[in-house]
Homo-oligomer: A and B are copies of this chain.
Amino acid sequence: MNSFGRAHFSDQLPTSLDRKNCVLIYDQILSRQHGSWIRKFPNRLAVKSGETLKDVKILPRHLTAILNLSADIPRTQLTVVAFGGGSVGDFAGFVASVLKRGVKLIHIPSTWLAAMDSAHGGKTALNVGQAKNQIGSIYFAQDTYLVKKVLLKVPRTQVQDALGEFYKMALISGGAIWKAAVNEASPDGDFLWRHLRLVIRGKMQIVKKDPFETKGIRHLLNLGHTVGHVLETELGLSHGRAVHLGTLFSLNWSCQQGFFKFMLVPALWPSQSELKRSLKAVKNPRQKLRLDKKTSDGDAIQFVFVRKPGRVFVRKMKMKDLLKEWKRQCQ
């Protein structure tokens, strides 16, 4: 196993990288705002971000390009630098994990979702046809750079999208970060930047206890994702919004199960009626839930419940009980 790596917080993009030994894989839209930094890399590959990038069908073409770019770099020095959002990180991370049986990896996330979540914890992933994240690896970046200049240029709508994962982590971690989540009336990029270190620390505390997801601990990070993934795929919602709705579903079910009585939900959360509308819009939820590899182990579901902020837990539930609850929350 490679080690967990380090997170670096800085105002500017890093200038100390050994660029001649790097292959930079970057989201092509970043060349507008960060072109001069990008062009300093002699070996670079522009990619179009999104789910298509993660389709295993285009992997062979990209691998050929990457092998050409890296032909003169000694294997032990070769470093893949991923500069982009979640799809770029998932793709480039996978490439780094299998290229010559594994080379060094550096993440520079360019979206809030990647900066808060996907760039940490080592998960890489590709899609096989419509089936998302069916192949991948757990492969940790040696360095992850969180760059204020990059993240504060992200459009406001992306900040909104990212709040779902932020609130999810706040609920899992509890303490100071949950307090900040509840009290902030208009969370913006500056707000996320101020709390980024805490969010990452919260995630990595869990990842370090269960790096390869073999002990069930890491599954806690899937809070809101069981229902969230279905809403994301079926209704075309953003990942963040879908997880946000999924987290609300989980809170409701936790309450119905009697795990907690009352919780101060931040004012900015999606409303119960939005959740109800979304759940109703999904046709045949049983079939959709079964497709989720995180969820289904035959007819058993590892569902993440909430007792209070800072105390979430996994309980094995039956598919039919989840469907009954889905129906209840539709009413």
Give the B-binding residues of A (Cβ under 8 A): 1, 56-57, 59-60, 63-64, 67, 72, 74-76, 94, 97-102, 123, 125, 128-129, 131, 134-138, 212-213, 293, 296-298
Q: Which of chain B's residues has its CB closest to A124's CB?
A: B101
Provide the residues of chain B in CB contact with A75, threshold 8 Å: 293, 297
Question: How far is A101 from B63 in the complex, measured between Cα atoms in Å?
Answer: 19
A100 lies within 8 A of B64 (CB): no
* Known contacts A56-B59, A60-B59; A298 and B74 CB within 8 A of each other: yes
* Known contacts A57-B60, A76-B297; A123 and B101 CB within 8 A of each other: yes
Other A-B contacts than A97-B137, A102-B138, 14 sampled, CB-CB below 8 A, are A1-B1, A56-B59, A59-B60, A63-B128, A63-B134, A64-B129, A67-B134, A74-B296, A74-B298, A98-B136, A99-B135, A101-B123, A101-B135, A101-B138
Question: How far is A100 from B212 in the complex, measured between Cα atoms in Å?
Answer: 12
21 residue pairs from A and B, CB less than 8 Å apart:
A1-B1, A59-B59, A59-B60, A63-B128, A63-B135, A64-B128, A67-B131, A67-B134, A74-B296, A74-B298, A75-B293, A94-B98, A98-B136, A99-B134, A99-B135, A100-B134, A101-B135, A101-B136, A101-B137, A101-B138, A102-B138
Q: How many copies does the complex hold?
A: 2
B67 lies within 8 A of A63 (CB): no
Provide the residues of chain B in CB contact with A138, threshold 8 Å: 101-102
Question: What does DSSP make chain A's interface, helix, strand, loop or mixed?
Answer: mixed
Q: Which of chain B's residues has its CB closest to A135's CB?
A: B98
Nearest chain B CB to A38 CB, angstrom units: 25
Question: How far is A63 from B133 in the complex, measured between Cα atoms in Å?
Answer: 12
A297 lies within 8 A of B74 (CB): yes
Question: How far is A99 from B59 in the complex, measured between Cα atoms in Å?
Answer: 15
Q: Which of chain B's residues has its CB closest to A134's CB?
A: B67
Q: Which of chain B's residues has its CB closest to A129's CB?
A: B64
Nearest chain B CB to A22 CB, angstrom units: 16
Provide the residues of chain B in CB contact with A212, threshold 8 Å: 102
Residue with the highest number of chain B CB atoms closer than 10 Å, among A1, A74, A134, A296: A134
Nearest chain B CB to A135 CB, angstrom units: 4
Question: How far is A1 from B1 in the complex, measured between Cα atoms in Å?
Answer: 5
B137 lies within 8 A of A102 (CB): yes
Question: How far is A76 from B125 in the complex, measured between Cα atoms in Å?
Answer: 18
**Which of B101, B135, B297 lies in contact with A213, CB distance below 8 A?**
B101
Q: Which of chain B's residues has its CB closest to A2's CB?
A: B212
Question: How far is A227 from B125 in the complex, measured between Cα atoms in Å?
Answer: 37
Provide the residues of chain B in CB contact with A100, threshold 8 Å: 134-136, 293
A60 lies within 8 A of B56 (CB): yes
Q: Which of chain B's residues has its CB closest to A94's CB?
A: B98
Nearest chain B CB to A168 CB, angstrom units: 21
